[in-house]
Structure 1
Amino acid sequence: MSSHKKELDDLRSPLLPLVGTHTTTIHGQPPLETLSVDQMLTKYCGEFGFWQFRHFVLTCMAWALDALHTMVMIFADREPSWACEPNSGCVWDSVKSVCELEPGSWRWDGSEGWSTVAEWGLVCGQKYKVGLVQALFFCGSMIAGGVFGHLSDTRLGRKGSLMIVCLMNIIFGLLTSISPSYWIYVVLRLFTGFSSGGVGVCAFVLAIEPIGPSMRGIAGMSTFYFYSTGIALLSGIAYIFQSWRFLYIASSIPSIIFLVFMLPFISESPRWYLVHGKTDEAMKIMHKIAKSNGKNLPENVYLVLEKEARSCYQRSTVEIGMDEVITGSVLDVIKSPLTRKRLILLMVINFTSACVYFGLNLNATNLETNIYLSVLLNSAAEMPAYLLTAILIDRFGRKPLGVGTQWFSGIFCLIGSLMGSQGNWKVLRTMCGVLGIFGMAGTYNLLYVYAMELFPTVVRNAALGSARQVGQIGAMLVPFVVVMDASLSFMVFGACGIVGGILTLFLPETLNTPLYDTLNGMEDETNKLPMLA
């Protein structure tokens, strides 16, 4: 009878020890401590030590490559200076455009191979072709945002996707340099846009996911330093290699260096391993992080998804060995009312921000100033914007900063639309453009940090890729605006900045919130804190 009672008592006892108790597990070992990635980084591994710093720098080098392949069009597709042919009756300073002159009365001032415009005669009635090739580049980027956002969340992972897009960038960049005709050039730029469109999404998430919560905002805001550095580097490369064909070769070489000498030393995201059931691989990376940072990660600590880490029960050693694969797609984001609202708002804000950011950069050709200096000034204006927003992001939060930077950019763009293109007015308009870049650069970078915190790991890249896709639609449209008129361009960019700031007011604040791993975990926490909805 007593033995039967003992068996019943054993059945009533919990199979898993309660968190915080001193109950021992099998063979007298201490209870396993199960933590989420954020908890483990904070408690044992270090939030931003030497390992994260090295990994962050190496991964973010890809942003410079993205800038090279994207902004190279500013120089390759520029309209060179021209001069009158001797004895042609042409008066250079009395006309604003070669379209006002008779054919044969003028010539390009320098080699026709300096730009695609000069080589293929993309002026006057053919000028729309400049906007077309630039728009199709961003069309390729738009498609890639969704494709590689999904692949990096599922089959390929963050690092695998980054390797593929960098390899494609090299191939298409080099092939572009030998384009025999305009239409082949268009197709190759479309493919280059497709490969470049996956770089930003994969590199950003891979760089930020292993960083602890208290340092994530500052680190995220620092990624675009590499992008603006890439633009500044491009100005120097374009000054040296003024032929557009040599320029495409020179701008592809850094991608080769990155693929061969840097990518092998970059690790896959432990969060990606975790949600795909590869817990052992995730734990190996966490141990490497702790060791490199001079920390100690105890053997009895184990990674779990954030929802399980908040559970009132601990896992046993047997259960932890049963890894569970959790997947998601953009359809799951749309099905959830919480994430659907966030995704729609983020898409539209990305659209307006891309219009302003890429538009102001491409508009450098319309400012009638030294193009190399204009591009260099734009890239230089971005860097203090990143520093300022990095300092303020954890003080004021994501939403107030996003609203402020977009309105700052929009206001100066509207002021620029009122400036003329002669004398001192031209200088003032240039400065308005620089200040517009200053504000929107901070916004564009902030949106990546914001998007990471608005969506869980299982669909993070898919959501970010979808938002980036819509942003690329805006980038597709601005080349046609840029080739028309500088005043009109500034007016459009100003309106986009104001509207984007208004829409940001409807997003939740994510300051000091964890990076969730699953949709269920995010929804459960949001139900407890309605302000996150």
Structure 2
Amino acid sequence: MEDTATAPLLPPYTTAAAATATATVRSIDDAIETYIGSTSAAAQLLPATLVGLAWAFDAQQTFINVFADAMPPWHCTSPSCFSAGDSASPCGQAPSSWNWSLPRHTSTISSWSLECASPALLALPSSSFFAGCLAGGILLATLADSRLGRKNTLVLSSLAMSLSAALTAASPSLVAYAALRFVCGFSRATVGTSALVLSTELVSRRWRDRVSIIGFFCFTMGFLSLPAIAYASRAASWRTLYLWTAVPALVYTAVIYFVIKESPRWLLVRGRKSEAIETIKTMTCGSRTSINSSFSDLALLKYESSYAAEEAGISSSDNIFSSAKRLWENRWAFRRLAALMTVSLGVGMVYYGMPLNLGNLSSNLYLSVALNALTELPSSLLVFFLVGRMNRRSSTLAFTAASCVFSLACAAMGGGGGWAEMAAELAAFFAACTSFSFVLIYSMELFPTCVRNSAIAMVRQALVVGGMVAPVLVAAGRRRRVVSFGVFGLAIGCFGVFAACLPETRGRRMSDTMEEEESKEVEAKRNLVP
């Protein structure tokens, strides 16, 4: 006889037909798949791609310091110039013996006479940006899981990032400039995370893996557009570069606000019943399923999801840190999060450090940045077409190890490697980009809907910590290359080993509650016992 205490709770108006429909829907994921899975590919992919475009503007603000804070070219105006010191830097030369080859306003270094500043001062704007990313990730990460949702978090973050970038163009001093870069980093901390989670929750299982890669493609396009914009404005002020990247981002934010719907999966998990059903109806408008269905199974599921949310500890009275608290309280979730954050720390040092370190190579800066941006394209293509066949754990281990080897090769060449040096740097960056993709995909698959955004945000914060340390290493690497390339290689190689502590997730169905994911963990352990 069935135990009434554990039987599913059904509203009094339940019909036999509706109950039969509900019996076939075992979870929120199954329910959403029943409806969204029948819609056309275009209806699913176009909104998801539009959401993923946020990564392009995120990439521009992440790497804009490569050009805005670059050391401008200079030339000697006196024969005594070459004998005064290192010809690679004007520092130590008599002020009257040299001059900038471009107008002073083309870089922050020439604008504020920072050519002889310490590595810490030169790295201050970039480090401030990543420090802002870290602070924003800690304070804002759980908003998308708790109060605001995926869409509203994306809109507010993108708006604040765009406005702060525009205000940066008016910086009167280095201190104000670094402060505004901190604000920009704080604002954009949740842009990529919210876009990634929202885009994958707007599509069916068939497209979920590939949609997650669309954001990486958009990030590549944003990164690739940056050297083109910088080259076109190379004789203009660095302030112009900030304006050219901020204005399109503002327009994009307005489009997202009016066009994109909230994640129905998040609405159901949060118990926002009617909104979830209306959103799914809008998304499935015109499909055969929506025409032939009264959505009665969703009417029942919304009641059950509210009950499941209550059981999972989710309620409208939760504070913004409730989802993060659940991650720390569950031992299996804490172990996964700690391992992923450790791997992400090493990946972040190479992923953010390599582009910033390009000024330490002997090649042309614009060409080097463009080649690095292009390197992300084959990395994204590799993951896009093979993600369904590649194991997450072994792939992460392999690519972090490869990045380690090539980074150490760059350090060993000592600056005289020419094209071989550039090839090793590109290989190290390619492996780091691919590792980055797998770490984010891994994060989505390892954590349920109720804490997914918070978990991915924390993993990205570890990535940002690596990015915050990288500018200091890059500035120090201008004198000793082993300090930058060598440390990058050792970091990603040693920290990448922690991926071995994670369970394999390829082909698994995504969970919605902590209890559902925990049951999978218990079942997996049971299957390992002979």
Structure 1 and Structure 2 fold alike (TM over 0.5): yes
Per-residue CA distance 1:167-203 (angstroms, 9 max, x = gap): 1112111111011111011100100111121111111
Comparing 35-44 and 236-245, the one that deviates more: 35-44
Equivalent residue letter for 2:91: C
Asked if 2 retains the 8 angstrom alpha-carbon contact of 1:145 and 1:197, the reply is yes
2:102 to 104, 110, 129: 110
Per-residue CA distance 1:425-483 (angstroms, 9 max, x = gap): 12211111111111111111221111111111111111211222222111110101111
Distance 2:303 2:146 in 1: 27
Per-residue CA distance 1:298-348 (angstroms, 9 max, x = gap): 2255349xxxxxxxxxx6998789795525421111110110100111111
Asked if 2 retains the 8 angstrom alpha-carbon contact of 1:72 and 1:234, the reply is yes
Three-state SS of the structure 2 residue aligned to 1:302 is: helix
Comparing 475-484 and 260-269, the one that deviates more: 260-269
1:155 paired with 2:150, answer no
Asked if 1 retains the 8 angstrom alpha-carbon contact of 2:68 and 2:107, the reply is yes
Distance 2:304 2:325 in 1: 30
Three-state SS of the structure 2 residue aligned to 1:433 is: helix
Asked if 2 retains the 8 angstrom alpha-carbon contact of 1:153 and 1:459, the reply is yes
Alignment-derived partner of residue 141 in structure 1: 133
Equivalent residue letter for 1:277: G
Cα displacement (A) at 1:295:
4.3
Asked if 2 retains the 8 angstrom alpha-carbon contact of 1:70 and 1:196, the reply is no
Three-state SS of the structure 1 residue aligned to 2:503 is: coil
Comparing 41-50 and 436-445, the one that deviates more: 41-50
Change (3 A) 1:13 1:184: closer
Distance 2:329 2:516 in 1: 15
1:67 to 45, 56, 59: 59
Distance 2:459 2:447 in 1: 12
Distance 1:447 1:518 in 2: 21
Cα displacement (A) at 1:104:
2.6
2:226 to 219, 231, 234: 234
Three-state SS of the structure 1 residue aligned to 2:99 is: strand
How many equivalent pairs are there? 506
1:352 paired with 2:346, answer yes
1:441 to 433, 437, 448: 433
Per-residue CA distance 1:84-137 (angstroms, 9 max, x = gap): 124655469972322242233211111110000111122224443121221111
Matches within 5 A, 1:118-267: 118-242=110-234, 243-267=237-261
Distance 2:17 2:383 in 1: 48
Alignment-derived partner of residue 36 in structure 2: 45
Equivalent residue letter for 2:363: T
Cα displacement (A) at 1:61:
0.8
1:290 paired with 2:278, answer no
Asked if 2 retains the 8 angstrom alpha-carbon contact of 1:71 and 1:231, the reply is yes
1:279 paired with 2:270, answer no
Equivalent residue letter for 1:454: L
1:411 paired with 2:387, answer no
Asked if 1 retains the 8 angstrom alpha-carbon contact of 2:28 and 2:301, the reply is no
Alignment-derived partner of residue 389 in structure 1: 383
1:490 paired with 2:485, answer yes
Change (3 A) 1:214 1:178: same
Asked if 2 retains the 8 angstrom alpha-carbon contact of 1:83 and 1:108, the reply is yes
Cα displacement (A) at 1:279:
2.2
Equivalent residue letter for 2:36: C
Asked if 1 retains the 8 angstrom alpha-carbon contact of 2:413 and 2:421, the reply is yes
Change (3 A) 1:321 1:357: closer
Comparing 359-368 and 94-103, the one that deviates more: 94-103
Three-state SS of the structure 1 residue aligned to 2:75 is: strand
Per-residue CA distance 1:263-304 (angstroms, 9 max, x = gap): 421111111101111122222222333335554462255349
Comparing 173-182 and 409-418, the one that deviates more: 409-418
Equivalent residue letter for 1:185: Y
Distance 1:13 1:138 in 2: 55
Alignment-derived partner of residue 98 in structure 1: 90
Distance 2:84 2:405 in 1: 36
Comparing 256-265 and 69-78, the one that deviates more: 256-265
Cα displacement (A) at 1:30:
4.7
Cα displacement (A) at 1:218:
2.4
- Which blocks of at least 5 consecutive residues in structure 2 are unaligned? 316-321
Cα displacement (A) at 1:32:
4.7
Distance 1:316 1:251 in 2: 44
Asked if 2 retains the 8 angstrom alpha-carbon contact of 1:339 and 1:455, the reply is yes
Alignment-derived partner of residue 4 in structure 1: none
Comparing 400-409 and 38-47, the one that deviates more: 38-47
Cα displacement (A) at 1:31:
2.4
Q: Percent identity?
A: 30
Three-state SS of the structure 2 residue aligned to 1:99 is: coil
Alignment-derived partner of residue 19 in structure 2: 31
Matches within 5 A, 1:328-347: 328-347=322-341
Distance 1:85 1:532 in 2: 76
Distance 1:531 1:420 in 2: 52
Cα displacement (A) at 1:17:
13
Distance 2:483 2:223 in 1: 25
Per-residue CA distance 1:188-239 (angstroms, 9 max, x = gap): 0100111121111111111111223343222213321100100111111111
Three-state SS of the structure 2 residue aligned to 1:185 is: helix
Change (3 A) 1:274 1:119: same
Change (3 A) 1:318 1:137: closer
Cα displacement (A) at 1:18:
9.1
Comparing 254-263 and 66-75, the one that deviates more: 254-263
Asked if 2 retains the 8 angstrom alpha-carbon contact of 1:419 and 1:487, the reply is no
Per-residue CA distance 1:71-91 (angstroms, 9 max, x = gap): 110000000011112465546
Normalised TM-score (structure 2): 0.89
Matches within 5 A, 1:345-384: 345-384=339-378
Change (3 A) 1:448 1:292: farther
Comparing 294-303 and 173-182, the one that deviates more: 294-303
Change (3 A) 1:497 1:79: same
Three-state SS of the structure 1 residue aligned to 2:297 is: strand
1:524 paired with 2:519, answer yes
Distance 2:194 2:225 in 1: 22
Normalised TM-score (structure 1): 0.88
